[in-house]
Every structure is written in structure tokens, then in C-alpha cells.
Amino acid sequence: MALVQSRWVASQLRALSPGTEVELVEVVTTGDRIQNVPLSQVGGKGLFVSEVEQLLLDGRAELAVHSLKDVPAELAPGLVLGAVPLREDARDVLVTAQGEGLDDLEAGCRIGTSSLRRSLQLRRQRNDVEYAMLRGNVDTRLKKLAAGEYRAIVLAAAGLRRLGLFDRPLWPVPVEISVPAVGQGALAIEARADDASTLALLAQLDHAPSRACVEAERAFLAALGGDCHTPLAGHARWLDDGQRLRFDGWVGAIDGREHVRASADTWLAAGNAQLGEPMHKLAQEVAQTLLARGARELLAQAQQAAEASRDPRRRD
């Protein structure tokens, strides 16, 4: 996936600046190497990002391409998001042999996902099936589905589209059932804050509505104080041909017993060119509503559980 995304960015840069030489520097991150345990137990999403960021800071690369959902709320000092290209479909999808929806699956069947966020939300719709851990790249996961190890698997729609694998039996999960992860479906192109020439080139790849959405989602994440260990979701989107803005937020208890959810929307005033400001306000409104409904306690419990899972002295 990382190579596909990086090659796409490289092709876009070559088209924007003919004659520009673009070299791909491949990095196998810790997150890529560890496949047998949940990410929350070994350091979380930052495992896919920190080693790549170090190449930028060391001057061994001018830009880095990430799936934005893997980027921590705070970037390394000296680095900025140089561009957020047009966002792909941010939804989760349920992949099966025949394309059944969640309600079509038989009780007791096995659904594979590596995401606590996904399994907790889907469990509220179907609590009579088994949600089992599934790691590996997309191709590996699809092979496990084909081999019958799982009745269904849950993936990101954006990843399947970028890999050219979307033309298969699947069911897009409505946002009303599973709110996507912060930044899901978007690419983040990171660069050094003092690299003016690279930032000028990347600015041509930036898609303002997509950036407004993901920056609002990241502000939502910061307002809640969430991290990779906490099951939460935040999704900003444009509706009615870009005239209406909507933000959905969700926080769940790590044991699945409780959750809080909130949404807000607003119409965009005619001629308003400040796309980020109204979306940011919606994100803050939803974050405060969730906190008032008990999200802070759920987040604290998740953080304590994550710390206990990494500390053998605190295990039973």
C-alpha cells in the first residue's frame, strides 16, 4: 500500500514539474514488521510513521507519504503537512465471498479486523458474531478470506480502491453504523517546515476541502486527548454538493459495554471561502458534546487498560 501511494504521488509531482527527478526511498517500519499482535499493544499507529519522519529530519528525503489515519495528532517538531490530496472514500467495507451486508451474515460466524474501533462499532449492530484479529497487508487478508479462515473481513474502502481491488463483492458500511477513523481515506504528504521549494510544489497537490475535513478531525482528536490506544472515531464530510457540513464523532469503552456518539451539521454561508473554520467549529462542538456525555471516562479507562497490557507487573 505504501509503495502504491508513494508511486502515485511521484507521478503527480513529475506531471506538475516536468523534468523533476523523483526517487523513492523504501522503508520497512516497525508497524510493518509486527504482524501478530494488536498495534495498541506495541506502540500504536506511530509505528508506521516515526521511522519515515526521521528520514526527513536527517535530510535523507524531502517528503514522506503516509495514510493520514496512521499519522499521530502531533507531528515531529520541524515537520508539516505539505499537502492533503483529494480524499478517497473514507468508509469501512465488509468483504465477503458474495457481497453480503452485516445483517445477512449467520450468527456465530467469524469476522476479521485488526481495528478495535471497527469491531466495537460493528458489535453494536451484530453482537452474535465473533470479531477476530486480522493483521497483514491487504492481499494477505484477502487470501485468508478466500481460504475460509474468516466469513468476512473489514477493510478500508480507500485501500481497496488505490490497489485496484474494489471491483469485488463487498458492502460499504454506512457511517451511521461505523464512523471512520480520523483521517481515513486521506493521504498526508509530510515535509520539513523550512523546505520552501518542496512545500511550493506540494501546494499544487493540496485539495482544500479534503484538508479542511482532516484538519477538523485531527483537532477533534486533540480536543478529546485521544491516541492510538483509545477506541474513537471522527469523520467530517461535505453534503449537498458542498453546501452543508457534517461531523460525526464516537468514543467507545474498550470492553464494548458503553459508547457515546454525537453529530452536528451546518450549512455553509454563500461565498464563504474559509472552508476550515466552520468545519473546525463543528468538530469542537461534537468533541465537547462527547466529553459531556462521558467520553473522558471511557478514554481514561482505555488508556489505563493499554498501560496495563504493556506492563507485566500489572497483569493478573
Q: State how many domains the chain has.
A: 3
Would the pLDDT of 156 be above 90?
yes
Residue pair 249/167 in contact by the 8 Å Cβ criterion = no
Say how many Å lie between the first and final Cα of the chain, rounded.
38
Both 227 and 303 in a single domain? yes
Does one domain contain both 61 and 200?
yes
Q: Check whether 165 has a pLDDT greater than 90.
A: yes
The reply to whether 167 belongs to the active site is no
Q: Do 316 and 222 fall within a single domain?
A: yes
Catalytic residue among 32, 58, 70, 241: 70
Q: Residue 145's pLDDT band (boundaries 50, 70, 90)?
A: very high
pLDDT at 26: 82
Domain range for 193 is 1-85+186-206
Read off the pLDDT of each residue in 217-239 and give the average, rounded to a whole number.
90
pLDDT tens digits, one per residue of 186-201: 999 999 999 999 999 9
Same domain? 81 vs 190 = yes
In a domain, 179, yes or no: no
pLDDT band at 34 (very low <50, low <70, confident <90, very high): very low
29 versus 71: the higher-pLDDT residue is 71
Q: Quick check: 154 pLDDT over 70?
A: yes
List all residues 6 or more positions away from 136 whose beta carbon is below 8 Å from its beta carbon.
Answer: 35, 144
Are 198 and 234 members of one domain?
Answer: no
pLDDT at 270: 64
Can you tell me the distance from the alpha carbon of 165 to that of 300, in angstroms, rounded to the nearest whole number?
38
Kindly report the average pLDDT of the chain as a whole number: 89
CA distances from 148 to 100, 143, 170 (A): 15, 9, 16
pLDDT at 305: 81
Q: How confident is the model over 272-286, as pLDDT tens digits?
A: 557 788 999 999 999
State the pairing for strand pair 130-132/152-156.
unpaired
Q: Record the cell numbers describing residue 181, joined without a space.
A: 477513523
* Number of Cβ within a 10 Å radius of residue 26: 7
What would the pLDDT profile of 16-33 be if each residue is shown by its tens digit?
999 889 999 887 755 454
According to the model, what pLDDT value does residue 48 have?
58
* Maximum C-alpha span of the chain: 61
Determine the average pLDDT of the residues in 108-135. 96
In a domain, 103, yes or no: yes
- Considering the domain architecture, whether residues 41 and 96 belong to the same structural domain is answered as no
* 180: in domain: no
pLDDT at 66 over 60: yes
Q: Domain holding 124: CATH number?
A: 3.40.190.10
Instruction: Name 93's bridge partners.
Output: 155, 172
Residue 306: pLDDT band with limits 50, 70, 90: confident
Residues of the chain above pLDDT 90, percent:
73
Residue 45 has pLDDT above 80, yes or no: no
Q: State whether 81 and 199 are in the same domain.
A: yes
Q: Are residues 79 and 195 located together in one domain of the fold? A: yes
Q: Residue 255 gets which letter from DSSP?
A: T
Are 296 and 214 within one domain?
A: yes
Q: What is the pLDDT of residue 272?
A: 59
Is residue 181 situated within a structural domain? no
Note whether residue 177 is domain-resident: no
Give pLDDT, residue 283. 97
Do 194 and 250 share a domain, yes or no?
no
Q: Are residues 233 and 250 in the same domain?
A: yes
With 60 as the cut, is the pLDDT of residue 291 above it?
yes
Q: What is the DSSP string of 61-91?
A: -SEEEEEGGGS-SSPPTTEEEEE--------
- Is there a single domain that holds both residue 239 and residue 303? yes
Look at residue 43 in the predicted model and tell me its pLDDT: 47
Q: Which CATH number is 262's domain given?
A: 3.30.160.40
